[in-house]
Structures are given as structure tokens and as C-alpha cells.
Structure 1
Amino acid sequence: MALKLHFLATPVLFAFSTEEIWDMIVANTNNYAEWKRGQSETVGRPWAPVTKPEMKAFIGVTILMGILKFPRLEDYWQESCKYLRTDLAEVFSSVRYQQISRFLHISDRTQDLPRNPGDESQHDRLQKVRPLIDHCGLKFKDLYQVGKHITVDEAMIPFKGKWGIKQYMKDKPHKWEIKAFVLADATNGYITRFFIYTKKSVETQYPEVGLCTQAVLDLVEDFHHKGPVLYTDNYYTSPDLYMTLHGYDIYATGTLRISRKGCPKELAKSQLPTKSRVRRGFYKHLSKGPLTAGVWFDRRYVYFLSTSHLPSLPDFTIATTERRDGARKVDVLCPPP
């Protein structure tokens, strides 16, 4: 027996959008449709300008299709569909949906700059969606104030189309993805700032550093001299980055690749006991100024760097964490997170 799906407006979607952004998308879509149809020698199906309620319904239906996946597009409009019976026919026809999809345009077509294959330094590969990206960036910041604990990481967006900014990630479930650098609240994962990597240099105040360091420094600009604690993984963590952040009163903690420039040689694996001679919970640290580098052995050596956990501070304690040892659970010494 097929289920019947009722459509309800979701406050979450409209919390991140304004009537101005909907008006812009509707106007640019209609403008592009009129221009595109004027370029074609064949008239094709009759076209009526899309309205704002239609555009909102179109976005909602598209989100639905990402959740409920049917074999064919037409299945979403089939009353006798064996998967799920929807009310899409009461919203618009499948033909109308495909028309809107064909002419959907975020940017103003007249403002899009032509691509110059000989010089792409001034070409914005995201120009067709730039107004929406900029709008989301502002809304993400305005709607939620993150707490003291923040984190920087990558967000991978699966994409099957043809686009030069796609990245190949052999170890990911989706091999071809679009990479975004994001700053999020470390307690709940809310993304408050982001930018999409387009494989080309971007305007930054830190052109002298590498991409990873540049991404972190650009994302935390609004947190200078506010004393947050930033968490990073070993892709970003380095002594140089942490010292720069410390100069902005941003404390940091993260896992570390001990081969990074500036890391203490005393903690290199060659200077540590072999796995067969070390017990779980082994811990060693070295400090220099605001930096503390440490190594901890669980099933393998784990390196970390911190400017927020100094051994000289009174709250620096070695705690225990529960681990399995065969069939039983044991307590293993563990440095502060």
C-alpha cells in the first residue's frame, strides 16, 4: 500500500532566505528564460513566467527528491507509484518542473563575465551562484552566535556534473566532490562561515602562507581578540599557524603530523619506544612559550599540539579513558582533550 505524502512549509528553509533573495531568483530565472527562448529557432513548449510561490515549491520538491529517491523523475507524479504517492500534481506538472529546472538562474545573466581561456585570474568560477553563496554566508552568521569552542574542517559536496572545481578524493565514498572550508561550532556542528575552494588563488590578507593556513586565518578573522578555542585536525595543525593564532588571542588544540616544520625532534617516532615495549597510556610532552606538543600511545602513537592546555596551569591533569582490552574494559591514562 502506497503512503500519501503531505507537503508542509518548513520554517528552517525560510529562516535562511528572505523575500529579496526569492524575488532575485525569480527575476533572473524569467530573464534567462526569455533570453534563452529568443536564441532558439524552435518555439518549444509554451512558457509562463515563474512566480515566487512556484519557485519556493520547486526548491522544496527538489529537496524532497534528494531524500526520497525514485528510479525516474516521472515516478514522483505517478498516482499509482508503488513507492510513495505524493501530491506533486496539485503543485505543478512534471513538465512545468522540468521547465523551471531548465531555466533556473541565480545570477543576473547580463552581469556574468565571459570566460577568458587565456587568463582566468579574474574569472569567478562561482559567479552563477555567487549571489546565493554570499547571501547564505551572511545569514549563517546572523542567525546563530557560536560559542567559545569552534572548529575548522573541510566539507565535501558530492557532484556528478562537469565542473572544473571538482576534487578527486580516492578515499571518500563519493570520489568526485566540491571542497568547502568551513568554520563550525565544535559542540553542535553548526556552520557559521565557509568558502568554496575553486582551485585558484583567492583574495586574502595572508598570501605568504600555504592554502591550509590561509583557509584557517581567513575563516577566524571575526574572532580576533575574543579568546575562543579552535580545534583542528592534522591537515591544518602546525606550530607556525598556532603561534599566529595565539597573537590574535585565539587558542588552539589539534592532532599533529610530527614531520611538520617546527615540531620537536625529541617526539619523533625514532626517539620513542617501539610499540612492543610501550604500554597504552604512555604520554610525553614538551613546551616552548605558549606551545605544548605531546604524544600519547593508545594502539598507536597520537601526536597533538596545543596553546590552550599548558602543563604549568593548575587545571592540567592526566585523566583516564575507557578502552577495550580483548573482552574486558580497562582505564587508560589520557592527556586533556
Structure 2
Amino acid sequence: MKKIMRILRRGIIIIFSILIIIIIISFINHKIKLNQESELFKPLGKMVKVNDHYMHVYTEGEGNVTLVFMSGGGTCSPTLDFRSLYSKLSDDYGIAVIEKAGYGFSEVSDVPRDIDTVLEETRKALTLAGQKPPYVVFPHSMSGIEAIYWVNKYPEEVKAIIGLDPAIPETYENYLMPNKAILNLAAFAAEIGFTRFIPSVCESSAAIKAGSLTEDEKEIYRAVFYRRTVTKTMLNELECIKESAEKVDEMGLPEVPMLLFISNGNGTGWEKEQWQQYLIDYASGIAENQKIILDCGHYVHDYEYEEIASRSKEFLNNIILD
């Protein structure tokens, strides 16, 4: 028995030692790669100071209205993730991509992630970047909650919502949130650079495998990915989302025209029929609404950017700008 215990202890020590070695090797490799990628990790837009941390706002194009793109939860590089779509719109409209704390080129921060703080930071960052309302907002996924709240709280600032498979309050009522221990493990793996040994995680991103990014832009995306995956700010935001959704739901439906691009549910955590029905039912309660079903995954703006750009222009011309 004592011999067996000695063998078990020895085995545990060996396994633990191997794990420590792997962690050290991964961390050193990560730091070397970060240094090598430093030239790629340079803001593509403006850095503005909001709430004691710096946020990145990318802008291009000019027009009678500014289109504000708002990323979904966990999207590492909003500026590049939306590029395939907004590049089709910037000849006719002003474009602004907001990168929240912990996303893209914005700083990782411990600031509160309740809906009021997030929205006020968005509004302030846009102002400091030289943008003025009213806007047409393009929220993806989780940002649908912020967009609806924005309309209800400051109706004079938003002319319409063009939703890119956006979340609505009801989608979070029965949503099973990811296991916190697993999320923390994923955050640790990203922090030590272990994800670099699994390149398929980055390469499977919709922006890379389906969008229209150039090879140079993909290299920048990768550099951002290895710095902005499962950040602590993203985790804090996720912890607040159910409470935020409840608060938004209590305010009722937004009273602005709405165009929704709805995915096949792949990547949402919901079955196709349930996800689509949530959004169809929600939009149907709004006086001016259009709903377009797309046979693609959750990052609709990477898969169907041509159709979304074309339909968005029609919507803006026929409903918003006439």
C-alpha cells in the first residue's frame, strides 16, 4: 500500500511539473510573440479617454447620417470584424465603430459593466471622436440590449436600429450562461498564450474565414485576437448582461424604425426556430419594421455583407432619409 501511495505521489508530482513547464513555455512564447506583433497592434482610429481608461473609435466616410457599429460580446476586434460590411457603406454614410473597454484597441479595464456605464461610455467616446447624433445603430448580438436601451433613454439620438442578429431582452430570460469556471480557465489560457498552440481557434473566426479582409488585415486581426480574447472586462460584462436585459425589458419596445437581419441560429446558443422566432416576434411589435432571414451563422455581417449592405441602403433611403 505504501508503495502504491509513493507511486501515486510521484505521478502527481510529475504531472504537476509537466503542467508548470507547459505554462512557462507558453507564457514565454506568448511574450515573445507579443513583442514581435507590437507593430501590428497600433490603433486604426482614434483613442479617447473615457472614465479613466482609453477607448478606440474607428471612423471613415462621410454622409448625412453616421452609422454606429456595436460589437457582440467577446468579439476581439470590432473594427476588423465589421470591415467587410461598413466598407460597402462608407461611400454614402459616415461610419463609426465603437470598441468597448476590453475590446480591440481599447484598454482592458475593471470599470463597471452595467448597462448605464456601458452606454454612457459609448456616447462619450463617440463625442470625443468628433461624432454627433442622431445615429443609425448597427448592433450585433449582445449589443442589441445596449442599442434598445439607447433608443429608450435618449430617443433623440438614434434614428433607427439595423440589427445584425441582435440579442433582445427575452433571449436572456432562460439563457443558460456559460460556466464561470470554464470561462476563467479560458481567460487564463488566453492570458498565458496557450491559444497560440491551437491556431484553429483564431482561424475559425468569421471575419477571417468568411469576410473580405486582406491578408494584411488578417494579420492585424490575429495580433488583436491574442491580446483581446476573454478579457476580464468581457467577463465582467457577461456577468451583468441578464440584469441589464431585465432593465431594458422593463422600458418597453423602442419607438424607432427597425430592420433586423436574422441568422439561422448557429453560434447563438439557441436552436434555429427558437432564435428566429424571438427576433421575429420582437420586431413585429414595432410599427416600422423589416425582418430578413439569412441562412448563415451568427456573424451575419461577415457571411452576408453584400446583401446586408444593399438592404441597409434601401432601408435608409426609403424609411430614414426621405
Q: Same fold (TM over 0.5)?
A: no
Compare the two structures and name the one with the higher helix fraction. Answer: 2
Q: Which has the larger radius of gyration?
A: 1
Normalising by structure 2, we get a TM-score of 0.30
Higher RCO (Cα < 8 Å, 6 or more apart): 2
